Chain A
Amino acid sequence: MSGYRVIGEAKNGQEAVSLFNSFPKKPDIVLMDYRMPIKNGIEATKQILKINDKSKIIFTSADNSIKQEALSIGARSFLDKPYSVTDLITEIKKIYKNLA
């Protein structure tokens, strides 16, 4: 879709960290939700950035109050839910452009 490929999905923060860890080649972008069972998005982001501090994480939540914290710990951008696919692709492009 739009030239991007989803290489993995996780149902909670803990699974996200395990999945990220399992990729030999790390994904270019991680789309991270906040409220999840077992481990929330903030904790998962911290651990993923610990594994690879170059990781590009787009943080997303319906709870706007977490935006500042998410950006301060290293998320590249924050998307308020509900967001459109266009918004998402725009954010991905911005980050990808920087990558290039």
Chain B
Amino acid sequence: MTEREPLSKRLEYIYKNVLETISEHIVYYDKDFKIIWANKTAADSLNLTPEQLIGKNCYNLWQERNEPCEECPVLKALKFGELNSKEMITPDGRLWFVEGYPVFDDKNKISGVVEITRDITERKVAEQKLKESEVKYRNILENMMEGYFETDLMGNFVYANVEYCKIMGYSKEELIGKNFRLLYDTMSSEVLFNMFNQVYKTGIPRPPTGVAKVITKKNKLIYFEGTIDLLYDSKGNKVGFYGLVRDITKRKIAEQKLKKSEEKYRSLFENMNAGFALHEVIVDDNNKPVDYRYIEVNPAFERLTGIKKEDLIGKIVTEAIPGTENDSADWIGKFGNVGLTGIPITVEDYSEVFDRWYKVSGYSPKKGYFAVTFTDITERKKAEEALKESEEKFRTIAEQSFMSIYIIQDGIFKYFNERVPKVNGYSPEEIKNWKPYEFVKLIHPDDRDFVLDQARKKEIGEKGVIEQYKYRIIRKDGELRWLESFSKTINYKGRPADFIMSIDITEQMNAEKQLKKSEKKYREAFNRSNFYKDLIAHDINNILQNILSSVELCLLYMEEEKDLNELKQMLKISKQQVGRAANLISNTRKLSRLEEVKISTQPIEAIEVLNQSIDFLLKSLQDKKINLDIENPYKTITVQANELLIDVFENILINAVKYTQNYPVDVKIKVSKLQKDGLKFVKFEFEDSGIGIPDTNKGSIFQRVDNVDRTVSGMGIGLSLVRKILTTYKGKIWVEDKVKGDYSKGSNFVVLIPEV
């Protein structure tokens, strides 16, 4: 081919030598965009001959359109005279790289355009796949849980994935372009450098077994393991390193912890107080456990059984500890079954071989094996037995006790012995069903406040609680019983409660009452006896003294022949003393009668008796000048009394005169009525001008019989008799000062006698 040959010639040449054989479509268009030539490849794509394409439009043929495609590079080349290209898709889905080359005529005007079209469908698909693959693997790299890095041969980071950055504590920006030494201290850097160097020299990747420590940016020590391998370019040249890194800090710590834990458990195993043993179960033909072999025991096992480890390991129990097969606890059967069934058990049993009690827990770590942990509970068992015996003993004591024993908490009987229902008459069921504080109905209303007050004080911890006291209860049948209770606050099931022991003291109380009565009676009898002895020894002797002295003086006067008047005076004294003695005897008889028999009373006309007494006084004491002043508005007054009433009035009146030193003797008698404690009384007052009675003696003058104070005397038994008589009348007597606060001015004897 020469330079200046006609186009046809040149085309022909191309057609013949090149164009027909190449894989691209080549189509030549005239300036009207009609095909004037096409190669065979282009025609083949339409299953036509090149000649059949002549004069057609490309868009009709390939794009099945009636007008040119938008942005058609061929048309653009034709229009603008410049090379134009574009990727285009045909309706069959294939992708084409279309290029338009403008063709110029001799005058350099556009005469046509050549279209060269390459089918890039496969390449594009491959590129797309590669791209997708790259994205996929990049995504994997970015998102995988292992750190991934790439460096150049100098160790400068060219890539690091998210996890790597996370592990090392640096951002990508901080890492990329920096040397790996940034991450490590000097020593670690050297170690890693040697690793890289070795891989570089040998070409052998470092397996993922290495573990290294690194200080991260955050100054945190981490452990990691990883691989290092060489990166090659497409020509097989070494261009860098890549590697995978895994943070194994947690695993390392866990391993360390596990190691420590193992050490701890090993230590526990070796040092624990509980015995441990692992056994292999030996069965007979019927798969029944008949023996077991020791696999492992801990030191506590040796300590608790007294058998050395070397005498156990590998041995069967029937040889190592003979007699075990006959032990009633059936250790072989029980724990053999644990090994066979895998069902754990815990037992407390007595070992006849060791003569000890053990608490044994067994489980099966593997079928056919069982492990046990056990403790020696002999002492505890003994204590429990002792406690049980003690509890039984005390329960028996409590139940058989004659005392009522009960525990009250929140107002409810939490416990009561058999005696309680017997004493209060309610059935055990009724007591159990009592509502809170219903038991209060048992307590006698008069004692309720006291008993509940003690309970309240105890509850709030107030001082002055009486722990032992007597009170009455009312039985279900209404019978009143006396109880003596001892109560104490105890801890019952974790909370305070009242522990009460009561004893029925009704009989004792009745006996005491009787005894008191008897004692009183005896005391009175004793006092009376003393009184009568004193009466004879003292009062009669006094009278005898007076008579003796008078008689002796009479005799003396007679010897001296003295005046008869003096003699007469002495004899008169003797006569008076005899009268005094007679009166004393009479009073004594009356008093004695009052004490020995119950004297009946009857309505008596009191004014009449009073007048008789006044007459007697005036007649018997004629030698004394007596001024009587009687203030009595009543003509008659009837009182509940008897014939002894006259002795009351006489004794008081005689005393009034007897104990007055100044003459004339002034005696005022006043009669009135009054009501006292709902009863009607007649009040008799006897006011004298005598020597008076000091306050200290105002009570004792009426009590010569009962009161043994006889140091102050001289009043005989008159007033004692008066009091006794009035007591039988249910009357009263007392003495007041005539002038209040000055006893020496005289006395006022007040007598009350019930009016009929």
Contact = CB atoms under 8 A, between A and B. Distances in A.
A38 B549 contact: no
A46 interface: no
A85 B556 contact: yes
A79 to B, nearest CB: 10
A81 B711 contact: no
Interface in B582-619: none
A37 B691 contact: yes
A11 B661 contact: yes
B661 A40 contact: no
Contacts of A38: 691, 694, 697, 712
Contacts of A83: 545, 548
B538 to A, nearest CB: 4
A35 B714 contact: yes
A67 interface: no
A97 B755 CA distance: 66
A83 to B, nearest CB: 7
Interface in B658-681: 659, 661
Interface string B534-552: 1001111110110111001
Nearest to A39: B712
A98 interface: no
Contacts of A63: 534, 537-538, 710
Contacts of B691: 11-12, 37-38
A73 interface: no
Given A35-B713, A37-B714, A82-B548, A62 B542 contact: yes
A24 B711 CA distance: 30
B712 A35 contact: yes
B712 A84 contact: no
Contact of B714 (A1, A36, A61): A36
Contacts of B534: 63
A42 interface: yes
Contacts of B552: 84-86
A2 to B, nearest CB: 9
B714 A82 contact: no
Contacts of A81: 541-542, 544-545
A43 B231 CA distance: 140
A11 B692 CA distance: 13
B239 interface: no
Interface in A68-100: 81-86
A34 B540 CA distance: 15
B715 interface: yes
B553 interface: yes
Interface string A19-39: 000000000000000111111
Contacts of B710: 35, 63
B659 A85 contact: no
A46 B43 CA distance: 176
Given A11-B661, A12-B691, A63-B537, A40 B545 contact: no
A89 B712 CA distance: 27
A31 B162 CA distance: 138
Contacts of B545: 62, 81-83
Given A12-B691, A62-B541, A82-B544, A35 B711 contact: yes
B548 A40 contact: no
Nearest to A86: B552
A6 B251 CA distance: 135
A37 B713 CA distance: 5
B153 to A, nearest CB: 139
Interface in B80-102: none
A64 B533 CA distance: 12
Contacts of B694: 38
Interface residues of A, number: 21
A62 B541 CA distance: 6
Contacts of A82: 541, 544-545, 547-549
A62 B537 contact: yes
Contacts of B659: 37
Contacts of B540: 62
A85 B661 CA distance: 27
Contact of B715 (A1, A34, A37, A85): A37
A61 B542 CA distance: 8
Contact of A85 (B542, B553, B712, B713): B553
B556 A37 contact: no
Nearest to A61: B538
A85 B549 contact: yes
A88 to B, nearest CB: 9
Contacts of A11: 661, 691
Contacts of B661: 11
Contacts of B712: 35-40
A36 B553 contact: no
Given A63-B710, A85-B556, A35 B548 contact: no
A36 B713 contact: yes
B548 A62 contact: no
B711 A42 contact: yes
B548 A84 contact: yes
Interface in B486-538: 534, 537-538
Interface in A42-76: 42, 61-64
Nearest to B549: A85
A63 B622 CA distance: 32
A36 to B, nearest CB: 5
A12 B715 CA distance: 12
B366 to A, nearest CB: 108
A42 B538 CA distance: 16
B547 to A, nearest CB: 8
Contacts of B697: 38
A37 B537 CA distance: 18
A86 to B, nearest CB: 8
A31 to B, nearest CB: 11
Contacts of B539: 62
A34 B541 CA distance: 13
Interface string B268-301: 0000000000000000000000000000000000
Contacts of A12: 691, 714
Nearest to A42: B711
Contacts of A85: 549, 552-553, 556
Nearest to A80: B541
Nearest to A66: B711
A68 B534 CA distance: 18
Interface string B713-725: 1110000000000
Interface in B544-586: 544-545, 547-549, 552-553, 556
Nearest to B701: A37
B711 A40 contact: yes
Nearest to A83: B545
B538 A35 contact: yes
A57 B312 CA distance: 113
A84 B553 CA distance: 10
A86 B540 CA distance: 21
Contacts of B544: 81-82
Interface of A: 1, 11-12, 34-40, 42, 61-64, 81-86
Given A82-B545, A82-B549, 6 more contacts: A35-B711, A62-B539, A63-B710, A64-B537, A81-B545, A85-B552
13 contacts: A12-B714, A36-B712, A36-B713, A37-B691, A37-B713, A61-B538, A62-B542, A62-B545, A63-B538, A82-B544, A82-B545, A82-B549, A83-B545
The 10 closest A-B CB pairs, nearest first, are A62-B541, A35-B713, A82-B545, A62-B538, A81-B545, A82-B544, A85-B552, A37-B714, A82-B548, A40-B711
Interface of B: 534, 537-542, 544-545, 547-549, 552-553, 556, 659, 661, 691, 694, 697, 710-715
